[in-house]
Amino acid sequence: MAWYTVDTTYINDREKLLDVRPRHRDYLRALADDGLVVAGGPWGDDTGGFAVYQVADRAQLDQLLADDPYTTENVAAGREIREWKITLGAWVPKS
């Protein structure tokens, strides 16, 4: 399994963002229930959001992001995606 951080910037259309947000959150909740999203939420100024994914590989992450309502409804203006090598904290697998 691989860890990824996804930093999303929203479009400036606040009405559209608020319209799509419930579907986006339902989508992420389902991914969280499946163990694929471990944390996520909007930035304090609500100009974007951040999520941590644990997936098999980058291809799986790309597919999950492609299916996200923020993508399909063009709410995500941009995303910075980085693979994350977690070495300490509660998410480090116990050996």
**CATH number of the CATH domain containing 73:** 3.30.70.1060
Ramachandran region, residue 33 (left: φ > 0; alpha: ψ -120 to 50; beta: rest): alpha
Judge whether 90 lies within some domain. no
pLDDT at position 93 is: 75
Judge whether 6 lies within some domain. yes
Predicted TM-score (pTM) of the model is 0.93
pLDDT at position 95 is: 67
Each of the 95 residues of the chain gets a pLDDT tens digit; together they read 999 999 999 999 999 999 999 999 999 999 999 999 999 999 999 999 999 999 999 999 999 999 999 999 999 999 999 999 988 888 887 76
Judge whether 80 lies within some domain. yes
pLDDT at position 2 is: 95
Length of the chain (residues): 95
- Interatomic CA distance for residues 94 and 70, integer angstroms: 34
